[in-house]
Amino acid sequence: MQKTQAYIAQHKQRFLDELFDLLRIPSVSADPAYKGDVRKAAEFVADSLRKAGADAVEVCETAGNPIVYGEKITDPDKPTVLVYGHYDVQPPDPMDLWTSPPFEPVIKKSELHPDGAIFARGSCDDKGQAYMHVKAFEAMLASNELPCNVKFMIEGEEEVGSSNLGTFCRANTDKLSCDVILISDTSIIANDTPSITVGLRGLSYVEVEVVGPNRDLHSGVYGGAVANPINILSRMISSLQDEENRITIPGFYDDVATVGDSERAKMNEAPFDEGTYKKDLGIAAVRGETGYTTLERVSIRPTLDVNGIWGGYTGEGAKTVLPSKAHAKISMRLVPHQDPDKVTQLFTEHFQRIAPPSVKVRVTPHHGGEPVVTPTDTPEYQAAHKAMEKTFGKAPIPKREGGSIPIVALFEQVLGAKSVLMGFGLDSDAIHSPNEHYGLFNFYKGIETIPYFYHYYSQMKEER
Ligand code: BES
Ligand code: MN
Ligand code: MN
């Protein structure tokens, strides 16, 4: 890997300039207004794969945003690594909280990134991390050190539930056949504490509507006699968690796997300082399910959170109105062995049941996803471990994370391959928030580490 590493060192600045160009394309998948930019980003990724030396590069059409494919088959007898990532990003709002425009990347220093970080939407999630793979691949090919076959599948709908990726995978099982899937779309504990993600939570996401009177009413004329949907919705939502912050939906915990004491003890050994955590978030106290630590609450326990709530008058000044409708978007993060469809069903039945007769309730399910836990006694995990140990000079710690990448469970079912979650972000990188950033250290560390993954993985597969 000597030549590869030398190549990376030599082309550092160009790699960054290219990533900046990708970050300038506002590929927001949630907003149809950005459709053209989403396609531009796909074309950009395809072009960069071609320039890096990939074959059969294609912008594959789907019912939604295109999926970029590319491959390098060096020898059919060698193992094949499928790299997955996404070029779509979350909406940048709220815009006024960005200290520099979201699609005009700049390098700024921050407390955790004294060497500078790239500030832009998608810098960490996931353009910056996906682009590390393109550059690592380029470096290995240019140095004649690619030890295996590589396939790329970079999608454009991850942030909106990957609704067309399942169909694409099922229709292309031969094209996508591989020994392992490599994903950089997660985080490490700290820049001096590498970790490998061994679990992701699942997701059930619903939108609720509470309807009271058939029109908005004068809150003086009718107030007190007619149900106010916002008051009712607030009550219904608060009843979903009890005093111990446990979710009250009957059956919600039925399938939750109990994590053993020794595993919990180990999990809590990971470096974590609650004081720093609180300070970073500007909160005086943490809050969560009784009987669990913060690290456990965000990894092995399920949650219920309101993501948005609206209704009535929210404009300037005061308008006295008793609104006809109230709305909320609610997400539930799931853990093994909860089933997203079953949880959505339980939620829907419960929410209908607790609604008073004075209102009507409608629950609309959105995308969901299954939780995942990956084993550590596999060649792929061991290869990631050795690769990170090599470049960080420190053994990585296995860590279950709270976020979701719904497609990971599906990959295993459809492609029969396990995923390695070797991400390089930090939890404090503000993904999905204003001022998202990605450390230069992290970007380059990723590019340096990925070639070692290929190296150790191929070596281990050969020995088997
Ligand atoms: N990359 C994130 C998931 C993530 C972030 C995992 C940090 C672990 C650590 C991904 O892009 C994401 O945001 N996923 C969504 C789910 C999707 C269905 C919208 C999420 O977790 O909310
Ligand atoms: Mn992501
Ligand atoms: Mn995301």
pLDDT in tens, 292-328: 999 999 999 999 999 999 999 999 999 999 999 999 9
With tokens 């491959």, the residue in question is: 71
Nearest CA to ligand 1 atom 18: 161
CB of 184 within 6 A of ligand 1: the answer is: no
Q: Tell me, yes or no, if 158 is annotated catalytic.
A: yes
Per cent of the chain over pLDDT 70 is: 100
Strands 67-72 and 149-155: antiparallel
Look up the CATH superfamily of 2-199+373-463: Zn peptidases (3.40.630.10)
Q: Which ligand is nearest to the CA of 202?
A: 1
Nearest CA to ligand 1 atom 15: 404
CA distances from 247 to 250, 251, 332, 444 (A): 9, 10, 10, 42
Out of 18, 88, 138, 159, which one is annotated catalytic? 88
Alpha carbons 205 and 183: distance in angstroms, whole number: 24
Strands 149-155 and 80-86: parallel
DSSP 8-state code for residue 316: S
Region 397-420 average pLDDT = 96
Out of 71, 158, 380, 448, which one is annotated catalytic? 158
CB of 194 within 6 A of ligand 1: the answer is: no
Q: Identify the pLDDT of residue 367.
A: 84
With tokens 């560390």, the residue in question is: 445
pLDDT tens for each residue of 125-166: 999 999 999 999 999 999 999 999 999 999 999 999 999 999
Nearest-atom index, ligand 1, CA of 159: 19
The answer to whether the beta carbons of residues 41 and 27 sit under 8 Å apart is: yes
Residue 8 Rama label (left phi>0; alpha psi -120 to 50; beta) = alpha
CB of 125 within 6 A of ligand 1: the answer is: yes
Around ion ligand 2, residues with a beta carbon closer than 5 Å are 125-126, 185
Region 429-448 average pLDDT = 98
Q: Identify the pLDDT of residue 462.
A: 87
Nearest-atom index, ligand 1, CA of 404: 21
Q: Cis omega (within 30 of 0) on the bond before 126? A: yes
Alpha carbons 436 and 106: distance in angstroms, whole number: 11
Nearest CA to ligand 1 atom 9: 186
Look at residues 187, 180, 82 and name the one whose alpha carbon lies nearest to residue 125: 187
The answer to whether the beta carbons of residues 186 and 384 sit under 8 Å apart is: no
Nearest-atom index, ligand 1, CA of 197: 8
Domain 202-256+302-369 has CATH 3.10.20.90: no
Q: Identify the pLDDT of residue 319.
A: 97
Nearest CA to ligand 1 atom 4: 403
Distance (Å) from CA 247 to ligand 2 centroid: 27
Region 412-433 average pLDDT = 96
Region 218-238 average pLDDT = 98
pLDDT tens for each residue of 44-89: 999 999 999 999 999 999 999 999 999 999 999 999 999 999 999 9
Q: Identify the pLDDT of residue 111.
A: 85
Distance (Å) from CA 442 to ligand 2 centroid: 15
Alpha carbons 156 and 154: distance in angstroms, whole number: 7
Look at residues 455, 460, 443 and name the one whose alpha carbon lies nearest to residue 188: 443
CB of 436 within 6 A of ligand 1: the answer is: no
The residue extents of the domains of the chain are: 2-199+373-463, 202-256+302-369
Look at residues 419, 448, 453, 457 and name the one whose alpha carbon lies nearest to residue 132: 448
The residue type found at 217 is: L
Q: Tell me, yes or no, if 179 is annotated catalytic.
A: no
> Which two three-digit tokens encode residue 357?
């007769």
| Interaxial angle between packed helices 440-463 and 379-392, expressed in degrees from 0 to 180 and rounded to the nearest 10 | 140
Which helix (H) or strand (E) segment holds residue 388: the answer is helix 379-392
